[in-house]
Amino acid sequence: MDCLYPPIEPYAVHALAVGEGHVLHVEECGSPHGLPVVFLHGGPGSGCGPLQRRLFDPQCWRIVLYDQRGTGRSRPLGHIANNTTADLLGDLERIRFSLGIERWLVAGGSWGATLALLYAEAFPDSTAALLLRGTFLARARDINWFYRSDGVALRFPQAWRQFVSHLHAGERNDLIGGYYRRLCSDDPETAAAAALAWRAWDSTVATWTLPPDTPKSATDALHAIAQARIAAHYLHHACFIVDNRILANAHRLNGIPGIILHGEQDRVCPITQSQALGAVWPQSEMISLPRTGHLLSEPTMLEAWVEAADRLHRQLAGSPPLRRRQPVTGGRWLTSRIS
């Protein structure tokens, strides 16, 4: 990870109430006077961590990280009520307006790329550029690839059998629905067992040969349940968007520059998704990475990401500001710690 910038701590940490009982963990890192960038984590449900602070030059960028509803350090953990894609897009605008940001680079991978694209199509005037990794278009075919027997399951037959065997025979015609019901169970043991099986399948495909990680404490187990529950919640509801919405609305990306990174060996989100996006977004540049999979933590992906972020900063540094959009109401700071 020599390509990453040195570890840093936030210069400000906030709790932002966005309504319906949700309070988001938001942190600012780097330079308060730098170009703003917001990083959108994947999942859905994974949350942010210290590594993401190191993806951007802290002397040049005002780095905004936050945990989406119900994830990470946002509260309540694992809460799925009032937790939809539309809610997440509204939260982004609340964060932007609350921090006094006119436009920002919107960056993310996998589900974070999905959310970034939906945000840019809904709020193009707020989006200076996009930096994406492992594009997930959230179409029915993209979800089916990962959760049906005729997709990536053919490449991991033993892990697939273990994933399917966690459910009763009558539940296996709707794997996501079956897991969703168990992950929402009031019985902690039922939910925990489903979360471990969900994580094992996800980790096996994403990491290729590395063994899937398992929770090492009660706190880890709670986060594993929350992460799996939110992921299943979104996937069970087709990510709360009309099928093929991103590509159908790609014309709204016109004028927004972007870089798309994709590993050629990505088993979670096949590279054809980024290729389809690039074909309808003329201002984008797609970079395919050989011998690289889905995870941001892979060395070749990290190196490509940092280089792309540096290049976008040079490109945006001379961009004129656009007219400020009207704010989305409803957000308020509960606490703010300045360090």
As annotated, the active-site residues are 110, 266, 294
Per 3-state DSSP, the chain is made up of helix, strand and coil in percentages (nearest 5) of 40, 20, 40
- Rounded distance, CA 23 to CA 36, Å? 22
Which among 259, 304, 287, 262 has a CA at the least distance from the CA of 128? 259
Please give the Cα distance from 285 to 280 (Å, whole number).
11
> Which residue, 234, 279, 292, is CA-closest to 87?
234
Q: What are phi and psi of 128, to 5 degrees?
A: -80, -35
3-class DSSP state of 38: strand
Taking CA 137 as the corner, what is the angle to CA 305 and CA 269, rounded to the nearest 5 degrees?
60
Answer yes or no: are the C-beta atoms of 245 and 252 closer than 8 Å. no
Give the sheet arrangement for strand 61-66, strand by strand: 284-289, 258-263, 127-133, 104-109, 35-40, 61-66, 22-30, 12-19, 332-338
